Structure 1
Amino acid sequence: MRAVTWQGRHKISVDTVPDPKIVNPRDAILKVTSTAICGSDLHLYDGYIPGMRAGDVVGHEFMGEVVEIGAESPLSIGQRVVVPFTISCGNCFFCEKQQFSACDNANPSETRDASEMMMGHAMGGAFGYAHLTGGYAGGQAEYVRVPYSDVGPVVIPSEMPDDDVLFLSDILPTGWQAAVNADIERGDTVAIWGCGPVGLFAIQSALLLGAERVIAIDHFPSRLKLARDMGAQILDYTQVDVREALDEMTGGIGPDACIDCVGMESHGFTLDNVLDQVKAQLMLTTERPHALRQAILACRKGGRLSIPGVYGGFADKFPLGQLMEKGLTVKSGQTHVQKYTDELLDMIREGKFDTTSLISHHASLEDAADMYRNWHDRQDEYTKIVLKPALARGVVQTRDQLAMA
């Protein structure tokens, strides 16, 4: 089969690799119909996530048609399913608490030692995201093996198009959990750093959960427009001092809750971020946590901080004293996708989420290397890329073309 593989920093290729096979009775094999490039994949592209090996098949946002099942899979051949990026057994200590991303059985023994050494405890399993999370082949491929197919996959009604539901795999539940973790109360002001796909879903989620206003912070015009269209007030951090603006907008109190949807690769030319970028280029650090620092300093006393943005290691110049003295409550972590998918599928049916306007491009799987490069270098034009294995090479559909279809 054809699949997208990681070959090194800024090196993505589409190669012929062995077809996946059933290896456990709970497995299923999918023929992939849609698979997306996630902002987290750009961390792999930039070489900041340890544990990648040349030839690894990437991709953790995908859906498709069931073509083969193990003896203990509840799925049926021909069903359309969306698969959570978290691989979870369903019956360990953590899964029973619905903390699915912390599953203690999904990370196999050959990779969990390094993960435990780096993180303190072994990370859960995930598709297409380094050997620290199990080394599983990802879904940017024609076919993919789905372990524990009795726990994660969401069966999709035939009348719902792929684009409506694909993001149940990751970014919609991630944006939702980000807002849930912010403990939003009616009337709250919520500030969200980053208007990428997760940030856009966090905006919608915060408003659905009762926030009176959401303030979205970014600098790409197209993303800020999408945020405004979804009901947020916007701040372009290249045009204003964000902390001063937030103080002014909240009467000097600060936002009730702050959500960091940026993660480890903050942009900007503030002194702290420039120093972070220099250290990152020298491989002295993996983190550029400027957005997180800013969120901590901006949040009101006694406020809440939610961190869905991906971080991978140790951070310099972390404002620990400010975090403690202000009495902030912090919630973070990879998304417990399986906890939310049924509820969110119903909300999509009811029209409560706009799941398609953030898609800027459809492209062939064969064009994945170009799509990675374009999204990395031209983020104002590329907000979300969906790869379609059935599309012919060189066929790229833009947002305007998709809207007319």
Structure 2
Amino acid sequence: MTSVPSPVGTTEYIPHPHLMMKAARWTGAQSIVLEEVAKPTITAPKDAVVRITHCTICGSDLHMYSGAMNSAMCKGDIMGHEAIGIVDEIGTEVEKIKVGDRVVILPVIPCGDCEYCKREEYSLCDVTNPSKELQNMWGHRLSGILGYSHLTGGYPGDQAEYCRVPSADLTCLVVPSDMPAKALLAMCDVLPTAWHGCELAEVREGDVVGVWGCGAVGLIIQRLAMFRGASHVYAVDPDLHRLAIAKSFGMIPIEPNKDGKSSEEQILTLEPRGLDRAIEASGFRSTCSTAHTIMRKIGLEADSSDTVSSAIQATRKCGNVALIGDFFFSTNDFPIGMLMEKTITLRGGQLMAQKYYPYLLNLVLEEKFDPSFIFTVEGKYFFDIPVTQI
């Protein structure tokens, strides 16, 4: 019988006697507060408790911070799903990691036994997310995800001094003790998410690729596309600083609406045949048109299809479009006719991180790819920062 991890909420932690810790807690839209809470402990035999040494913020945390997911949050929820640390405790059925191991904590929580996990489609796990709301919204549930609202199970996150990690043998990845923390932090989520985007788009040698978004994930997707043999990579972003970073890595920068021309118009001028693969990595907050900006402001849509529409139009007939920017709700004016008639394959989904290891770990260890470039400033240890609100 599968041992199902329990998605306990922050207030349901079973603490060690008199032992507290600091954690970044959601207290409402645009309010994340550093507070003391009870330290977590083992609640299921496949759990581990990890002492967090380094953590960082994901772009998808902004969905909760901005208030876009208020209905799926509870005051006091612990944020975060990108962290590394040292194993502090393990449950009785944990076999692959031991106390004292240095580990990367992956965001997605798989059971390992359902049909999706057996196919290595871990983010679609049938077991680890009890959310009835998500079931009603989509007809099915995703896997549980650490620190990412009650739609994905209500698991407390790892922007904390300690984190209870369910399904620890699958959710924790043992890594070398001397490996740079920046590289490991990038491997928690950003690197496997970027690789997943290239996999969904089926980026191959010789392809012409376009990537909408030059944030951390978008920049790594662009460099991975080149690593996989793409002949040209177009980087689309309205932020000129981000475009300059992409250009410094050899990408072709595209600023939407420059000289009155949309991103797809600019790309098709340079590539009349169109892109072989297009990847949307900017997320559901991205709007380019006045119509979608207004619809989002007045609540007629929660996601915007502006960037997706641009990607579809810029992609050649029989090309591929991948969505990695974490769309969650609904949109209007989606170009379904253009998608169908151009015979374009459209795919999306959360990262299947466990599937891509140990390949990605070896890639970094062998110095074939270094994802740590996304961290440009050496920061102080998170819990030494004397602030009450971040």
TM-score of the superposed pair, with normalisation by structure 2: 0.90
Alignment partner of 1:119 is 2:112: no
Distance 1:285 1:267, change over 3 A: closer
State the identity %.
37
Alignment partner of 1:293 is 2:309: yes
Alignment length (residue pairs): 363
- Separation of aligned partners in 1, 2:330 and 2:238: 26
Alignment partner of 1:76 is 2:98: yes
Report the counterpart of residue 26 of structure 2 in structure 1: 6
Report the counterpart of residue 319 of structure 1 in structure 2: 335
Alignment partner of 1:217 is 2:223: no
Provide structure 2 residue ranges, at least 5 long, that are not aligned to the other structure: 1-20
Q: Secondary structure at the match of 1:286?
A: coil
What amino acid maps onto 1:54 in structure 2? K
Report the counterpart of residue 17 of structure 2 in structure 1: none
- Separation of aligned partners in 2, 1:239 and 1:284: 28
Distance 1:7 1:390, change over 3 A: closer
What amino acid maps onto 1:389 in structure 2? F
- Separation of aligned partners in 1, 2:31 and 2:178: 38
Q: Secondary structure at the match of 2:254?
A: strand
Report the counterpart of residue 80 of structure 2 in structure 1: 59
What amino acid maps onto 1:346 in structure 2? N
Q: Is the 8 A contact 2:214 2:242 kept in 1?
A: yes
Q: Deviations over 1:150-207 (max 9, x none)?
A: 1121111012021111122111001011011111232110000000011011111111
Mean alpha-carbon deviation: is it higher for 161-170 or for 136-145? 161-170
What is the alpha-carbon root mean square deviation over aligned residues?
A: 1.5
Q: Secondary structure at the match of 1:150?
A: helix
Q: Deviations over 1:328-357 (max 9, x none)?
A: 011210010100121001111122223222
Aligned pairs for 1:21-40 within 5 A = 21-40=41-60
Q: Secondary structure at the match of 1:181?
A: helix
TM superposition shift of 1:313:
1.0
2:373 to 336, 346, 357: 357
Aligned pairs for 1:171-182 within 5 A = 171-182=190-201
Q: Deviations over 1:109-141 (max 9, x none)?
A: xxx211100111012100011111000000111
Report the counterpart of residue 278 of structure 1 in structure 2: 294
Report the counterpart of residue 37 of structure 2 in structure 1: 17
What amino acid maps onto 2:338 in structure 1? Q
TM superposition shift of 1:267:
4.0
Q: Deviations over 1:238-257 (max 9, x none)?
A: 4252122111211x111111
- Separation of aligned partners in 2, 1:57 and 1:99: 26
- Separation of aligned partners in 2, 1:88 and 1:286: 28
Report the counterpart of residue 184 of structure 1 in structure 2: 203
- Separation of aligned partners in 1, 2:207 and 2:333: 29
Provide structure 1 residue ranges, at least 5 long, that are not aligned to the other structure: 365-387, 395-405
- Separation of aligned partners in 2, 1:48 and 1:333: 19
2:323 to 307, 323, 345: 307
Distance 1:318 1:267, change over 3 A: closer
Q: Is the 8 A contact 1:226 1:358 kept in 2?
A: no
- Separation of aligned partners in 2, 1:55 and 1:279: 31
Report the counterpart of residue 401 of structure 1 in structure 2: none
Q: Secondary structure at the match of 1:37?
A: coil
What amino acid maps onto 1:253 in structure 2? R
- Separation of aligned partners in 1, 2:175 and 2:169: 15
Q: Is the 8 A contact 1:265 1:289 kept in 2?
A: no
Mean alpha-carbon deviation: is it higher for 318-327 or for 49-58? 49-58
Mean alpha-carbon deviation: is it higher for 280-289 or for 305-314? 280-289
Aligned pairs for 1:134-283 within 5 A = 134-240=153-259, 241=261, 242-250=263-271, 252-268=272-288, 270=289, 274-283=290-299
TM-score of the superposed pair, with normalisation by structure 1: 0.86
- Separation of aligned partners in 1, 2:81 and 2:119: 23
Report the counterpart of residue 384 of structure 1 in structure 2: none
What amino acid maps onto 2:268 in structure 1? D
Q: Is the 8 A contact 2:47 2:91 kept in 1?
A: yes
Mean alpha-carbon deviation: is it higher for 82-91 or for 161-170? 161-170
Distance 1:104 1:362, change over 3 A: farther
What amino acid maps onto 1:359 in structure 2? F
Q: Secondary structure at the match of 1:17?
A: strand
